[in-house]
């Protein structure tokens, strides 16, 4: 039987999929991607990710992305609180996310990010949910927040920190997300982490439509000339093949290990996977 994969981070609600969203989901299913986790990025996406998860047999998370917190309505935290309460019995709600801190994009209000992330960690703890973290040049600051506001683990998405930082997240109950960036031979640190971390720490993701793998990458000049570099969840098995090569695993082992890790990170997935079996 072909392996079944879980894409732990896919923005299927993104505008890049507006023309063929259902087709993209079916292509992923045909490729063996049995489950997507669809994280929200703001209040305006709560309804969309919830509806898509129910339509496609997938899972979702609700949260306020650090890149967009300044654009949210003033009552965004209250609205997230209400949305989490309204969906408390929905088995497809598996986490609070995508939340976190971004230290890469210039000009962002770091204090606002910190306040918003801290508030959402408190909400996640109150809801008994894990979190899906955006960690970009912010690992140490996020670790500090997590120690002040402990939660039930989750996933550090698109992880690109040091081995020491990776271990600190693992020690706090987190799994680390690896995706398209791992497929680039020059991504030495990411590939080292993927190869050397304990197998229980690893989950797979696409972050579609973002972070295209090496075979989809286009330069800025190529994109300006009209070339498309949209990532899609159907790419996950090929991304998984990169992890398999780095670890010396078969594809079947890679799918089984990373899917089990995803369920461990997001426990509500267990019931969904049991229903599929």
In tens, the pLDDT along 79-133 reads 999 999 999 999 999 999 999 999 999 999 999 999 999 999 999 999 999 999 9
pLDDT higher than 90, residue 2:
no
Record the tokens describing residue 214, joined without a space. Answer: 């090496």
| pTM as predicted | 0.97
Percent of the chain at pLDDT above 90? 92
57's tokens = 């047999």
Q: Is the pLDDT reported for residue 157 higher than 70? A: yes
Q: In sequence order, what are the residues at sequence separation of 6 or more whose Cβ sits closer than 8 angstroms to the Cβ of residue 255?
A: 3, 4, 5, 32, 237, 240
Which residues, other chains included, contact 3 with Cβ-Cβ below 8 Å and sequence gap of 6+? 32, 237, 251, 252, 254, 255, 256
pLDDT at 275 over 90: no
The answer to the question of whether 54 is labelled as a binding residue is no
pLDDT of 223 > 90? The answer is no
Residue 229: pLDDT band with limits 50, 70, 90: confident
- The confidence score (pLDDT) of residue 209 equals 98
Q: Which residues contact 144 (CB under 8 A, 6 or more apart)?
A: none
Radius of gyration of the chain (CA): 17
pLDDT grade, residue 268 (50/70/90)? very high
Which residues neighbour 21 within 8 Å (Cβ) at sequence distance 6 or greater? 12, 13, 52
The mean pLDDT value of the chain amounts to: 96
Residue 90 known to bind ligand = no
Q: Report whether 98 belongs to an annotated binding site.
A: yes
Report the pLDDT averaged over residues 42-69: 98
Q: Answer yes or no: is pLDDT of 165 > 80.
A: yes
**How many Å apart are CA 207 and CA 18, to the nearest integer?**
16
* C-alpha to C-alpha distance for 130 and 143, rounded to whole angstroms: 15
φ/ψ of residue 132, rounded to 5: -110, 115
All domains of the chain in start order, with CATH: 5-276 (3.20.20.140)
In angstroms, the CA 111 to CA 101 distance is 10
What pLDDT, in 10s, does the model give residues 181-201?
999 999 999 999 999 999 999
Residue 277, pLDDT score: 61
Q: Chain centroid to CA 131: how far?
A: 10
Closest by CA to 233, choosing from 68, 3, 5, is 5
Q: What share of the chain is helix, strand, coil (3-state, %, to 5)?
A: 50, 15, 30
Written as six digits, the tokens of 218 are 């286009």
Residue whose token pair is 């703890």:
125
Q: Which residues of 202-218 are buried (b: 16+ CB within 10 A; e: fewer)?
A: bbbbbbbbbbbbbebbe
What angle in degrees, to the nearest 10, is found between the helix axes of 163-171 and 188-196? 40
Q: Is 149 annotated as a binding residue?
A: no
């Amino acid at each position: 039987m072909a392996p079944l994969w879980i894409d732990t981070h896919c923005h299927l609600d993104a505008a890049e999929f507006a023309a063929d969203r259902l087709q993209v989901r079916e292509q992923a299913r045909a490729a063996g991607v049995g489950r997507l986790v669809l994280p929200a990025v703001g209040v305006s996406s709560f309804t969309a990710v919830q509806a898509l998860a129910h339509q496609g047999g997938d899972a979702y998370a609700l949260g306020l992305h650090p890149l967009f917190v300044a654009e949210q309505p003033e009552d965004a935290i209250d609205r997230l609180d209400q949305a989490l309460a309204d969906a408390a019995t929905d088995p497809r709600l598996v986490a609070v996310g995508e939340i976190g801190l971004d230290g890469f994009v210039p000009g962002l209000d770091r204090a606002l990010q910190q306040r918003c992330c801290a508030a959402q960690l408190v909400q996640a703890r109150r809801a008994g949910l894990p979190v899906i973290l955006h960690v970009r040049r912010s690992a140490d600051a996020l670790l500090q927040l997590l120690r002040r506001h402990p939660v039930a683990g989750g996933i550090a998405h698109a992880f690109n920190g040091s081995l020491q930082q990776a271990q600190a997240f693992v020690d706090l109950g987190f799994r680390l997300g690896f995706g398209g960036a791992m497929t680039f031979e020059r991504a030495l640190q990411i590939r080292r982490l993927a190869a050397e971390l304990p197998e229980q720490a690893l989950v797979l993701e696409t972050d579609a439509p973002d972070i295209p793998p090496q075979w989809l990458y286009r330069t800025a000049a190529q994109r300006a000339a009209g070339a498309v570099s949209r990532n899609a969840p159907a790419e996950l098995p090929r991304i998984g093949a990169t992890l398999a090569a780095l670890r010396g695993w078969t594809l079947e082992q890679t799918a089984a290990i990373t899917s089990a890790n995803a369920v461990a990170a997001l426990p509500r997935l267990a019931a969904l996977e049991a229903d599929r079996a």
